[in-house]
Amino acid sequence: MRFDIITIFPELFSGVLECGIIRRTLQSGMAEIRVVNLRDFTRDRHRSVDDRPYGGGEGMVFMPGPLFEAVEFCRGREEEFDGQVVLLTPQGEVWSQNLAAEFVTIPHLIMICGRYEGVDQRVIDNLVDREISIGDFVLTGGEIPAMVVLDSVVRLIPGALGHPDSAVNESFSTGMLDYPQYTRPAQYRGQAVPDVLLSGNHAKIEKWRKEQALEKTKRARPELVDKKSAQN
């Protein structure tokens, strides 16, 4: 799977690409990630990527020229682009585990990290396939949202996680939050691991986990329970 990330701050991604699962998928060839500096597609000596909005108003807006050229560069010479261009913006569709599962099936993702007051509408109208937000709040730019999208998608690439079921049996994948997890020692500071987990009875363990997941979801995210009930 291929990712291109268009940003004016490419240095922000260095740490993300050098750690954990993302680093492992890069080394194994399961993913290809390229960080593209938008300023490389400017024409003036100041390497300007933004200008004041027509009609007045505060802030600055990304100009269309550099973004058009950057996206065209990322697409390369492909006659038919087998991917999607995604703009990270507070106005976008809210990111979710379901969207991550959808995005992992797309061979090539080009992510534009928005900043300032946004991007020229002609970029959205002509280049962007999806607008994505990571929540109802405003950040200084789209770089952190791009990292969120990248991390949540990469870990779903087949083979990226150590166990094939790791991405299946976790929060949101089943519509519920995850059940409580325990490891050694069985006793710690007077607190014991639940007996059922030590019983070796896999049917009872599975039943306990489902009950615990439902109880936790009702307590922390009751709207997920209501949503699941409505779907059933």
pTM exceeds 0.75 for this model: yes
pLDDT in tens, 75-106: 987 667 889 999 999 999 999 999 999 999 99
Mean pLDDT (the chain) is 93
Q: Where are the beta strands (DSSP E) in 162-225?
A: 187-188, 191-192
Phi and psi at residue 150, to the nearest 5°: -60, -50
Task: Answer yes or no: is pLDDT of 226 > 90.
Answer: no
When pLDDT is cut at 50, 70 and 90, the band that residue 170 belongs to is: low
DSSP symbol at 50: E
Residue with tokens 């080394």: 27
Give 182's contacts (C-beta < 8 A, 6+ positions apart): 193, 194, 197
CATH numbers and ranges of domains, the chain? 2-154 (3.40.1280.10), 187-231 (1.10.1270.20)
- The pLDDT of residue 137 is 94
pLDDT in tens, 98-133: 999 999 999 999 999 999 899 999 999 999 999 999
Task: Answer yes or no: is pLDDT of 168 > 60.
Answer: no
- The pLDDT of residue 80 is 77
pLDDT in tens, 191-224: 999 999 999 999 999 999 999 999 999 999 999 9
How many C-alpha atoms does 216 have within 13 Å on its Cβ side?
Answer: 16
Residues 29-58, mean pLDDT to the nearest whole number: 96
The distance from CA 56 to its chain's CA centroid, rounded to whole angstroms, is 34
C-alpha distances out from residue 25 to 42, 70, 85, Å: 32, 25, 22
- Hey, what are 22's tokens? 């993302």
